[in-house]
Amino acid sequence: MERIDHLLPWNNLGCERHLTVFRFGAGERKAYIQASLHADELPGMRCAWELKKRLSELEARGALNGVIELVPVANPLGLGQLLQGSHQGRFEFGSGKNFNRDFVELSEPVAQRLAGRLGDDPHANTRLIRQAMLEVLAGLPAATSPLQGMQRVLLSHACNADIVLDLHCETDAALHMYALPQHWPQWRSLAAQLDVRVGLLAEDSGGSSFDEACSVPWLRLQRRFADAQIPLACMSTTLELGGQADTGRPQAEAYAEGILAFLAEQGLINGDWPAAQHDTCEGMPFEGTELLFAPHPGVVSFLRPVGAWVEKGEPLFEVIDPLSDRVSTVCAGTAGVLFAVERLRYAQPGFWLAKVAGRKPLRHGRLLND
């Protein structure tokens, strides 16, 4: 195991922040795994520790067929952001920016570098594109904030990987994942290993999140240079490991073993690994996700558990105003998987309370609700 410590820029006087990468194995193929880019989403960090121990064992046995890079703490900036005892790890306090938005878009500068150089050899094209991505990132002007510097370090480690797993969670949720629709056939086995309840598929969700900053450039380059043989060489996903409270040891161990079994299936790890114990979930268009809101303030009672299939018109939650005795029942507007609900049980205007993944597109344009 190699430990790589990156000093982040623009630290306050008298202190330093580092981003640490653990590198296991050697070889041409590479997987990259990071956790807690949203710093208050800790199930991934707990899982990453289990992965770190297991990868050390596998490396010592000579069982790794490639490089696996692991970043257990992808956001040291957000770890210390507390407000009156409540962890606030999704947005940077200083700028208000979401830590998982506005990663560098690589396809345009890479296309400018490689115009006229891509041909019929997909392996040669992959090498050229990955090298150009690294050169683009290295050639950017100096970072003007700690957040920008941190994002560039993360992307520089992930952009040349074959497989990228960005481990997140919701406030209260069943396991679900985001990916390109073109990659869903390959992700189905990981979904079955982990008992993921739904895959949310889109080519561009808007906002340049980390997973799409890794995978979408390949799709754009493939379409721009249609005469060249350009594979979608980076399979990248945001994997939502349930809810924020799901940091138990059995869960973390199970998630880690499922991820390792998937990497073995992809040829990065040797040995016999157990087959998936769960059925593969359905991949749904991310445009088909319905966000449900309360019609007025009040205390919320959910009527269906996360992970359940719900029908259109089925009651999902009640909103109760105990002063006026007003009670409103909010029903699903589409059939699908109730994959996430809000942790807070007091309804306020403008805040979603439940998300249902349906089969029919409902939304267009920017799909991320930040």
Query: Could you state, in order of their start, the residue ranges of all structural domains in the chain?
Result: 2-280, 286-358
The first and second tokens of residue 5, run together, are 């410590």
Distance (Å) of CA 287 to CA 141, 161, 293, 307: 36, 27, 17, 19
Q: What pLDDT, on the 0 to 100 scale, is given for residue 261?
A: 98
Q: What is the pTM of this model?
A: 0.97
Q: What whole-number distance in Å separates Cα of residue 251 and Cα of residue 174? A: 13
Q: If we measure between CA atoms, which residue out of 280, 334, 330 comes closest to residue 309?
A: 334
> Which residue stretches of the chain have pLDDT < 50?
none
Provide the pLDDT for residue 182. 98
Q: Are 35 and 47 in contact (CB under 8 A)?
A: yes
* C-alpha to C-alpha distance for 248 and 250, rounded to whole angstroms: 6
**What angle is formed at CA 82 by the lines to CA 76 and CA 83, rounded to 5 degrees?**
155
Question: What does the alpha-carbon distance between residue 38 and residue 275 come to, in Å, rounded to a whole number?
Answer: 31
Look at residue 110 in the predicted model and tell me its pLDDT. 98
d(CA 212, CA 220): 11
pLDDT at 370: 75
| Number of other CB atoms surrounding residue 266 within 10 Å | 18
Look at phi and psi of residue 123 and say left if phi exceeds 0, alpha if psi is from -120 to 50, else beta. alpha
List pLDDT tens digits, range 265-277: 999 999 999 999 9
Residue 108 pLDDT: 97
DSSP 143: P
Specify the pLDDT at position 363. Answer: 87
Distance CA 43, CA 45 (A): 5
* Predicted pLDDT of residue 245: 95
CATH 3.40.630.10 fits 2-280, yes or no: yes
Query: What is the structure's pLDDT at 366?
Result: 85
* pLDDT for res 66: 97
How far CA 115 is from CA of 58, 125, 131, 223, in Å, comes to 41, 12, 14, 13
Q: What number does CATH give the domain 286-358?
A: 2.40.50.100
